[in-house]
Structure 1
């Protein structure tokens, strides 16, 4: 048995000014890709374990992930897709793909659908299993060009490996038992905010995921996935959808439609309505006073969230916190290569005034002046650390060169590229204990939570004018199918 598997992962924010060349994926090829897949705590890691258990010949042409950013460059997409197609063309018995489901390229609104259609043309009869992110934007091309679809059921995503195992169970049934699954999907006309998708909370998304789990226990139902979608991709089918893999077409269609109706009924609960920033800052002050040092107040700058395509250089939240007189602040990582260079040139211990952030401006967004901050260069170094878990456990990340500026109110971590605070190591690699802060400002929305939330006295979502804002009125949607809720309050569906 020969099994081809690959991981290509990108969530595209079509409003983001951050480019996505091939280098953004830091792709691994061939033997290096296979080695990464073997130890990865993601869907492809489960694929690899399954293939080893079968004694199969394993081909991993590419293992690639880029942080969310703007549309993927055409040459990058062709290189990644070409590697997969080259291995499939050699012949195989199973194809297992670990994709995101919200990739937009310069030429294709549906990058995954284009890749899957090409793979299907090369290998029309080969069992093809697909693992997708909970934030996938489904399309007909995705659904019709694979044998099964399984999406993550957690956000933050801590079930990536388990999702891959689910895919392999279905595919194994095809190979060993002659199972012939079929897919169906339903797509109510609605966006869901990512801040309303936290499955660690008692909310509508958690209830819908539980509904999907219950549906999977019914006879003939192999997989049920509720996709919250990624609304900052301006493509026709962006938004919420439900996918079902079953043994009968009518079963798959009926289950998908039934759960989609429940999604639509709860559409108001999937909308996040942000508070004005000054109210959030005032709330943070009150909570800190009441907590009395029981842990930092976690301020999440979700409008400039790296893992949704943010530039990580919008200064709104830090500026508001400083202006309100908050102190004991730890903030970062701020993406500003010029500021890092200035700190490097000044050297540790030097006092320096920086013009920080607000330097990367997206089309349609106002240009704001950088934030002037004066402080001492406390630390310089390489922004490299290893994640302790539970997301991407053991994986080493690099933020570029890094510097810490200490001001009377704050310690600010500045790096050379946008970066998600996956782990306390983001700060610890430069000598900062984030849990000793009074206020901890992170450019994050959800992925920081498994590490930072348990030790925080409170978590407060803070609005900013970045390209990942929850205020959809900031964005000019041109391609998405209208009407769609909540952009269009009068949207209807039955």
Structure 2
């Protein structure tokens, strides 16, 4: 048996000014051919699970590409074609394909990156059995469902179950190849543009929906059940909440389960809208707390959802508030990093930090922040994730520096990276567990690495293209009406 195993992932924020060419995938760690297998074998990723299943079956393994980039603007056509063509060219002669995809990829040449790939794959190899893992923030489309055999999405946010779901859907495909099951799928959606900050699976309303999906999977004949929160910053018709269920030959049972999941989501639609709070008020609450670490979330500038990671609004407010013993991860500013490297460790410098990117989608200009401090640490920015999310994956933050103002230690990186693991601090000599305040440019993924040490968490509503107020974004392609943008 010959199995095609590949990864092609990007969460596209169509409002983001950050360009997404092939180089952005390379910076995360794009791999072609045998290098793709070497990079992900033994990791806690879906591709790692696929490789384990293939080895157990004694199959020949073909890994044409493993490519992922931090969320950003639409994927360049050349980059999309490079990844898609690698998969398509490797498919002839394979008995099945196991793909690690995202579900919210928008490219210059297609608004449905995953659906287009799967459709072209089936055209190239009609009837090819295909299993797919998808992110919880997938914007599911008819084209995706029509062109694969079985699919599943993560049931955790932060995504700590990637290997688990990869193994689950991989086993479904392997059983179908043996004739033990006959997978059929049903899917649907509801007009809810859920806010990402309201999708944490440890919180309501998502927790109950995930529990329902898990319960559905225990029913006879059900092979997989998924509820997707969707990705609201992709301006495409299908953005929003959806569900898919895989059943063993029983299409009606799959559809009933899909409707049950979506009806439950619709009943809780008001809980998917985020309530805002003035920054000053939130910082006042933070200052009154007596025990730390206290997590401060700059969620509107989260590169993990396509943010610039160089908006200074929240950091400026924290410094003006006079908070002490603060560690910040991370500000993207490769120019500032080079200035600090030229100065050298121990030198006191004054630099203009961040604010290098304008955000036309929200009518905002980049505004740098003048900061004076001592160069504390310089690093190549390379480390390995040891926490529960992306376990075993190499991180490449690029040349990295820490600027210490006396009250605030700022981790400054040359490549975008969301702080979902404590390594973003420990790799540059900062112990997050002994720091009073941790200012993180993150939404929910921070929980994977930092929830175990956090005493309190406070969201700070700053500025950025990952805003939690979708009303300030101009949607042109999104289906309407949709809650909460419209009164339905």
TM-score range (shorter-chain normalised) is over 0.9
Q: Deviations over 1:401-429 (max 9, x none)?
A: 11111113211111112211132221222
Structure-2 change in CA distance of 1:121 and 1:178 (3 Å):
farther
> 2-side partners of 1:134 and 1:82: how far apart?
26
The answer to whether 1:479 aligns with 2:486 is: no
- 1:300 aligns with 297
Choose which of 394, 397, 407 in structure 1 pairs with 2:395: 397
> 2-side partners of 1:330 and 1:81: how far apart?
40
In the alignment, is the contact (CA less than 8 A) between 2:53 and 2:171 conserved in 1? no
The answer to whether 1:74 aligns with 2:77 is: yes
Counterparts in 2 of 1:312-327, with a 5 A limit?
312-327=309-324
1:178: how far off? Answer: 5.2
1:169: how far off? Answer: 2.1
- 2:200 aligns with 198
1:337: how far off? Answer: 1.2
> 2-side partners of 1:37 and 1:54: how far apart?
18
Choose which of 190, 213, 235 in structure 2 pairs with 1:188: 190
The answer to whether 1:55 aligns with 2:74 is: no
1:467: how far off? Answer: 0.8
Q: Deviations over 1:433-490 (max 9, x none)?
A: 22222211011112221221221221111111111110112211110000110111x2
Superposed CA RMSD in Å reads: 1.3
Counterparts in 2 of 1:82-481, with a 5 A limit?
82-89=85-92, 91-177=93-179, 179-201=181-203, 203-246=204-247, 247-287=249-289, 290-291=290-291, 295-364=292-361, 365-481=363-479
> 1-side partners of 2:120 and 2:447: how far apart?
38
In the alignment, is the contact (CA less than 8 A) between 2:420 and 2:450 conserved in 1? no
In the alignment, is the contact (CA less than 8 A) between 2:346 and 2:375 conserved in 1? yes
1:274: how far off? Answer: 2.3
1:346: how far off? Answer: 1.7
In the alignment, is the contact (CA less than 8 A) between 2:311 and 2:367 conserved in 1? no
The answer to whether 1:38 aligns with 2:35 is: no
In the alignment, is the contact (CA less than 8 A) between 2:91 and 2:125 conserved in 1? yes
> 2-side partners of 1:137 and 1:361: how far apart?
27
Q: How many residues align?
A: 483
Q: Indicate the SS of the match to 1:440.
A: strand
Q: Deviations over 1:170-202 (max 9, x none)?
A: 11221112532221111100111121111123x
Greater CA drift, 47-56 or 345-354: 345-354
Greater CA drift, 357-366 or 125-134: 357-366
Greater CA drift, 404-413 or 100-109: 404-413
- 1:14 aligns with 14
> 1-side partners of 2:342 and 2:380: how far apart?
15
Q: Indicate the SS of the match to 1:411.
A: strand
1:66: how far off? Answer: 0.6
> 2-side partners of 1:426 and 1:244: how far apart?
37
Q: Deviations over 1:114-136 (max 9, x none)?
A: 00000011222221111111110
1:40: how far off? Answer: 2.4
In the alignment, is the contact (CA less than 8 A) between 1:152 and 1:163 conserved in 2? yes
Instruction: Give the TM-score, by structure 1 length.
Output: 0.95
Q: Indicate the SS of the match to 1:39.
A: coil
> 2-side partners of 1:52 and 1:369: how far apart?
52
> 2-side partners of 1:345 and 1:215: how far apart?
58
Q: Deviations over 1:246-282 (max 9, x none)?
A: 1222222222112111111111112221212111111
> 1-side partners of 2:120 and 2:316: how far apart?
48
Q: Deviations over 1:192-237 (max 9, x none)?
A: 1121111123x11110111111112222222110000000000010
Q: Indicate the SS of the match to 2:118.
A: helix
In the alignment, is the contact (CA less than 8 A) between 2:357 and 2:366 conserved in 1? no
> 1-side partners of 2:40 and 2:119: how far apart?
24
1:325: how far off? Answer: 1.4
1:368: how far off? Answer: 4.6
Q: Indicate the SS of the match to 1:454.
A: coil
Instruction: Give the TM-score, by structure 2 length.
Output: 0.96
Unaligned runs of 5+ in 1: none
> 2-side partners of 1:424 and 1:298: how far apart?
13
In the alignment, is the contact (CA less than 8 A) between 1:387 and 1:422 conserved in 2? no
Unaligned runs of 5+ in 2: none
Greater CA drift, 269-278 or 2-11: 269-278
> 2-side partners of 1:216 and 1:51: how far apart?
24
